[in-house]
Structure 1
Amino acid sequence: MAPKVLVSDKLSETAVQIFRDRGIEVDFEPGLGKDKERLAEIIDRYDGLAIRSATKVTAKLLDRATRLKVIGRAGIGVDNVDLPAASSKGVIVMNTPFGNSITTAEHAIAMMFAVARQIPEASASTHAGKWEKSRFMGVELSGKTLGVIGAGNIGSIVIARALGLRMKVIAYDPFLSEERATELGCRKADLDELLTSADFISLHVPLTDRTRNILSAANIARLKPGVRIVNCARGGLVDEAALAEALTEGRVAGAAFDVFAEEPATDSPLFNLPNVVVTPHLGAATTEAQENVALQVAEQMSDYLLTGAVSNALNMPSVTAEEAAVMGPWLRLCEYLGSFIGQMTEEPVQEVNILFDGAVAGMNVSALRNSVVAGLMQAGSPEVNMVSAPIMAKNRGIEVSQTTQDQTGVFESYVKVTMKTAKRTRSIAGTVFSDGKPRFIQIKGINIDAEVGAHMLYTTNEDRAGIIGTLGRILGENDVNIANFTLGRSERGKDAIALLYLDADPAAEVLDKLRDSGVFNAVRPLRFNVT
C-alpha cells in the first residue's frame, strides 16, 4: 500500500505534486491545521504530516496518530511540534534548515541598513509631508565592526555579506574553530570581547537554555556605547525590557527586531521607540524561500517514506538514500544483535557497548547504534523503533556507548554487542556476508556461523556427546523441523552452545521436554523480525 501524507498548512502546489509524482497519496487541506478537532479525527489515516507553523502537533494529537511515521516542517522552527512526545512515539521530525537561510540573512542585513540610516522613520516623516533632512543623520556600515553571535548556516551568510560591505567581522560561537573562522574571513572572539567592541551586533543562534537572554541586562550594560543590535533569529535571546531602557537612555543607539519573546507580538517594550525598527517575523517571508522549504520538505518526506533515507531530522541521525541502500543489511543485523541480547536478558540492563570493526566503522554508526538499541528495547516493547528506543533506554538508565576500530579479525567487518547487568555480562557478534544476509558469528566468545531466522532456538550445555541426538530426537518427535543447525564450544569438555533455525516456534511442552532431558543448562526460544 502506498504511503499517505496529509498537508495541513499552506504549501505550494508544486510541493504537493512532488508527493504525487513520487507515488505517494496526498491529501492537501491547507486550512486543516487550525481545526484541532478535525485534525485529531483523521490523523490516524496518515503516514506523514507536512506542516508550516499553523498546525500544532501536540502530545494529545500524537496519541491519535497511530500510523504516523514522519512530520515535515517547511521551515527551520519546530516550536509548534512537541518533539519529546514525537520521539517517544517513534515519529521522525524533519525541518528544512537551509531553504530560507539566504532570505533570513538578507533580512538581517536589510534591518542593519534600516536601523543605521533610520529608513522607516524617515519614510514615515516624508510621507507625512515633512522634509526633516537634518533629523535623520545615519552612520555608515563600511569600516564598522560587526559582532555576529552564532556562526552557523545563517550567521556565516551574514558574515559573507558584511565582508562585502567592507565591515570588520568578529564572531562568537562556542563551536567555531579557528580554521573555520579563517575560512569565513572573520575573527573568532569570546562573548566579552564582542560585547565591548562591536558597533553592530547580529544574533543567529537558536533559543536554548544556554542562549536564552544571551543579551541579558548585565550584558547589555557592558555593550560599547552607541551599538546597534539586530535580532532576526529567535525571540527570548534579548532582555527586551533592559534593551528598551538602554535605548531610551541613549546607551544603545538603535535596534532592529524581527522576532520577539511573545509572538504574535501585540505589545513589547521595544514598540514605539523612535530608534527601533520592528517587523512581524518576516525573516523567511520571501516567495523564493517559501517555495524552497516547501519543495525541500516534500522531497525529504518522500525519500524517507519510500527509501528510508533520513535528512534534517531533529530526533534521529541522518541517513542518505545511498547509505540506506548500503546499510540496509547492517541495520537489520544490528537490530537482530540487540534483539538477541534483549530476549536473553531478564535482569535490568545497565550498560550496552557496541563495537564496530572494519568497514562498518566507516558507516553511519549513529544510525546503526540506534538500530541495536531498538532491537534491545523491542524485547519488552514491540512498538519501539529507532527514534523512540534511545529515549526509552535513557529513561531506564541504560548507558549506551560505542567503539570503532580498524579490521582486527578474519572478517572484513563485524559488529559486537556487549551487555552488562548487575549479575552478568553477555556478548554477541555478527556480520553481513556478500549475499547481503546477516549472520551471527560469535556468542559468549564462542565462534559460530548461524543464519538468522524468524524462529530460532538457543541452548547451552557442557560439551559432551549426545547433544545433537537429544535435540534432533525431541524436536523430531514433536514435528518441529530444523532449517539450520549451528554448534560451537569454547574448548573440549567446556561450555558449548547450539543455535537452531526452525520452521516454526516450538510449543511450550517441547521446550519443557528439552529442559527435562537433563543435558541443557539453558533452553531459550528466540523470535526475529526477519525481512
Structure 2
Amino acid sequence: MAPRVLISDKLSDAAVQIFRDRGIDVDFQPDLGKDKDKLLEVIGQYDGLAIRSATKVTEKILAAADNLKVIGRAGIGVDNVDREAASKKGVIVMNTPFGNMITTAEHAIAMMFAVARQIPEASASTHAGKWEKSKFMGVELTGKTLGVIGAGNIGGIVCDRARGLKMKVAAYDPYLSQEKAEKMGVEKVELDDLLARADFITLHVPLTDQTRNILSAENIAKTKKGVRIINCARGGLVDEEALAEALKSGHVAGAAFDVFSVEPATENPLFGLPNVVCTPHLGAATTEAQENVALQVAEQMSDYLLTGAVTNALNMPSVTAEEAKVMGPWIKLADHLGSFIGQMTDEPIKAINILYDGSVAEMNLAALNCSVIAGIMKRANPDVNMVSAPLVAKEKGIKIATTNQAQTGAFEGYIKVTVVTEKRERSIAGTVFSDGKPRFIQIKGINIDAEIGNHMLYTTNEDVPGIIGTLGQTMGENGVNIANFTLGRSGIKGEAIALLYVDEPVPSPVIDKLVKTGMFQQVKPLTFDVA
C-alpha cells in the first residue's frame, strides 16, 4: 500500500507532482492547515504531512496522528511544529534549510544598501513630490567593515557578496575555523572586536539560549558610533528597545530589520524611527526560493517514506539513500542488541556504552546509536522508535557513550553494547554476515554464533553435563520446536549460556519446569522483531 501524504498549505504543483511520480498517494488541500479542527479530524489517515507556515502542528494534532511518520516544512523555520511532541510521538520533523539561502542572503545585502542610502525614506519623499535631495546623505559600502555574526550557510554567502562589494569582512562565529575563515577571505574575530570595528553589522545565527539578545543593550553600547545594524535572521537576536534608544541618541545611524521578536509585528519600538528599514519577514519571499523549498521537501519526504533516507531532519540523524541500503542490516542488528539488553535488564539504567569495531565504525554512528537506544527502551515503552528514543533516554538521565575503533578481531566489523546499572554491567555483541543476516557473537564476554529469531530462549548455568539433554527433552515433551541451538562457555566448569531459536513463544509452564530442575541460574524467554 502506497504511503499517504497530506499537503495542508500552499505548495507548487510541481511539488505535488513529485509525490505522485514517486508513487506516493498525495492529498493536496492547501487551505486545510488553517482549519485546525478539520486537520485534527483527518490527520490520523496520513503517513506524511507537508506544510509551510500556516499549518500549526500542535501536541493535540500529533496525539491524533496515529500513522504519521514524517512532517516536512518547506522552509527553514519550524516554529509552527511542536518538535518535542513530535519526537515523543516518533515523528521525524524535516525542514529545507538550503532552499532559500541565496534569497535570504540577497535580502540582507539589499537591506544593507537600503539603510546605507536611506532608499525607502527617499522614495517616499520623492513620491510625495518633495525633492529633498540634501536630506538623504548616504554612505558608501566600498571600504567599510562589515561585521558578520554567524558565518554559516547564509552568513557565508553574505560574506562572499560583501567581498565582491569591496568591503572588509570580519566574522564572529565560534564554529568557524581559522582555515575556513582564510578560505572565505574573511577575518575571524571575537564578538567585542567586531562590535568595536564594524561600520555595518549583520546577523545570521539561529535563535538559541546562547544567541538570544546577542546584541543586548550592553553590546550595542560597545559598537562603533554611526554603526548600521541589519537583522534578516531571527527576531529576538537584538534587544529592540535598546536599539531604539541607541537610534534616538544617534549612536546607531540606522537599522534594517526583516524579523522581529513578536510576529506578525503590528507594533514595535523600531517602527516610525528615521532611517529604520522594515520588511515583513521577506527573507525567503522570492519565486525561486518558494519553488525550491517546495520541491526539496517533496523529494525529502518521498525519500524517507520509500527508502528510509533521512535528510535535513531536526530530531533524527540524516541517513542518505545509499547509507540506508548498506546500513539496513546493521540498523536491524543494533535494534536486536538493544532489545536483548532491554529485555534482560529490570533495574534502572545509568549508562549505555556502544562500541563500533572495523567496517561498521565508518558508518553513520548517530543513526546506529538511535537504533540501539530504541531497542533498549522498547521494553518499557513499546511506542519508542529511533526518533523518540534519545529523548526518552535523556529524560531518564541515561548517559550515552560511543567508541569507534579499527578492526581488532576476526570479524570485519561488529557492534558491542554495554549497559550499566546500579548493580551490574551487561554486554552483548553482534555482527552482520555476508548473507546480510545479523548474528549475536558474544554475550557476557562468552563467544557464540547465534542466529536471531522472533522467539528465543536464553539460559545461564554452570558448565555441567546434562544441560543440552534437559533443554531438548523439556522442549520436545511440551511441543516446542527448536530451530537453532547455540551454546557458549567461559571455560571448563565455568559459566555457560544457551540461546535457543524456537518456532513459537515458550509457554510459561515450560519455563517453570526448567527453573524447577535447579540446573539453571536464569531462564529468560525473548522476542525480537525479525522481518
Shorter-chain TM-score bucket reads over 0.9
Deviation at 1:274, TM superposition (A): 1.7
Report the TM-score, using the length of structure 1 for normalisation. Answer: 0.99
Output aligned runs, 1:62-81, within 5 Å: 62-81=62-81
Letter in 2 for 1:16: V
Q: 1:22: which partner in 2?
A: 22
Gaps of 5+ in 2: none
Output aligned runs, 1:190-269, within 5 Å: 190-269=190-269
Q: 2:174: which partner in 1?
A: 174
Output aligned runs, 1:283-298, within 5 Å: 283-298=283-298
Instruction: Show CA shifts across 1:452-491 (max 9, x none).
Output: 1000000011111111110010000011000000000000
Deviation at 1:221, TM superposition (A): 1.0
Deviation at 1:363, TM superposition (A): 0.2
In structure 2, what is the Cα distance between the partners aligned to 1:270 and 1:424?
61
Q: 2:187: which partner in 1?
A: 187
Deviation at 1:343, TM superposition (A): 0.4
Deviation at 1:241, TM superposition (A): 1.1
Output aligned runs, 1:434-449, within 5 Å: 434-449=434-449
In structure 2, what is the Cα distance between the partners aligned to 1:35 and 1:171?
44
Q: Does 1:457 align with 2:465?
A: no
Deviation at 1:398, TM superposition (A): 1.4
Letter in 1 for 2:437: K
In structure 1, what is the Cα distance between the partners aligned to 2:347 and 2:507?
24
- Percent identity between matched residues is 75
In structure 2, what is the Cα distance between the partners aligned to 1:401 and 1:386?
17
Output aligned runs, 1:127-146, within 5 Å: 127-146=127-146
Letter in 1 for 2:516: D
Instruction: Show CA shifts across 1:254-279 (max 9, x none).
Output: 00000111100000111111210100
Output aligned runs, 1:322-361, within 5 Å: 322-361=322-361
Q: 2:120: which partner in 1?
A: 120
In structure 2, what is the Cα distance between the partners aligned to 1:306 and 1:81?
23
SS, match of residue 371 in structure 1 = helix
Output aligned runs, 1:81-160, within 5 Å: 81-160=81-160
In structure 1, what is the Cα distance between the partners aligned to 2:510 and 2:401?
38
In structure 2, what is the Cα distance between the partners aligned to 1:403 and 1:258?
44
In structure 1, what is the Cα distance between the partners aligned to 2:401 and 2:185?
38
Deviation at 1:59, TM superposition (A): 0.8
Q: Does 1:467 align with 2:461?
A: no
In structure 2, what is the Cα distance between the partners aligned to 1:209 and 1:524?
47
Letter in 1 for 2:341: I
Deviation at 1:60, TM superposition (A): 1.1
Deviation at 1:513, TM superposition (A): 0.8
Instruction: Show CA shifts across 1:471-516 (max 9, x none).
Output: 0100000110000000000000110000010000011101111111
Deviation at 1:402, TM superposition (A): 0.7
Q: 1:516: which partner in 2?
A: 516
SS, match of residue 372 in structure 1 = helix
Deviation at 1:379, TM superposition (A): 1.2
Q: Does 1:49 align with 2:49?
A: yes
SS, match of residue 518 in structure 1 = coil
Deviation at 1:133, TM superposition (A): 1.1
Deviation at 1:371, TM superposition (A): 0.3
In structure 1, what is the Cα distance between the partners aligned to 2:269 and 2:8?
35
**Alignment size in residue pairs:** 531
Q: 1:383: which partner in 2?
A: 383
Deviation at 1:192, TM superposition (A): 0.1
Q: 1:394: which partner in 2?
A: 394
Letter in 2 for 1:101: M
Q: Does 1:503 align with 2:487?
A: no
In structure 2, what is the Cα distance between the partners aligned to 1:506 and 1:230?
68
SS, match of residue 300 in structure 2 = helix
In structure 1, what is the Cα distance between the partners aligned to 2:443 and 2:389?
24
In structure 1, what is the Cα distance between the partners aligned to 2:350 and 2:236?
39
In structure 2, what is the Cα distance between the partners aligned to 1:399 and 1:475?
40
The CA RMSD measured in Å over matched residues stands at 0.6
Deviation at 1:351, TM superposition (A): 1.1
Deviation at 1:309, TM superposition (A): 0.3
In structure 2, what is the Cα distance between the partners aligned to 1:197 and 1:224?
6
In structure 2, what is the Cα distance between the partners aligned to 1:278 and 1:350?
51
Output aligned runs, 1:365-384, within 5 Å: 365-384=365-384
In structure 2, what is the Cα distance between the partners aligned to 1:456 and 1:363?
29
Q: 1:478: which partner in 2?
A: 478
In structure 1, what is the Cα distance between the partners aligned to 2:244 and 2:494?
79
SS, match of residue 487 in structure 1 = strand
In structure 1, what is the Cα distance between the partners aligned to 2:197 and 2:52?
39
Deviation at 1:8, TM superposition (A): 0.5
Deviation at 1:428, TM superposition (A): 0.3
Letter in 1 for 2:434: S
- Runs of 4+ that moved beyond 6 A: none
Deviation at 1:414, TM superposition (A): 0.3
Deviation at 1:400, TM superposition (A): 1.2
Instruction: Show CA shifts across 1:196-253 (max 9, x none).
Output: 1000000000111111111111111111000000000011111111111111111111
SS, match of residue 300 in structure 1 = helix
Instruction: Show CA shifts across 1:403-454 (max 9, x none).
Output: 0011111111000001111111111000000000000000000000001100
Letter in 1 for 2:385: N
In structure 2, what is the Cα distance between the partners aligned to 1:397 and 1:110?
47
Report the TM-score, using the length of structure 2 for normalisation. Answer: 0.99
Q: 1:300: which partner in 2?
A: 300
In structure 2, what is the Cα distance between the partners aligned to 1:494 and 1:482?
25
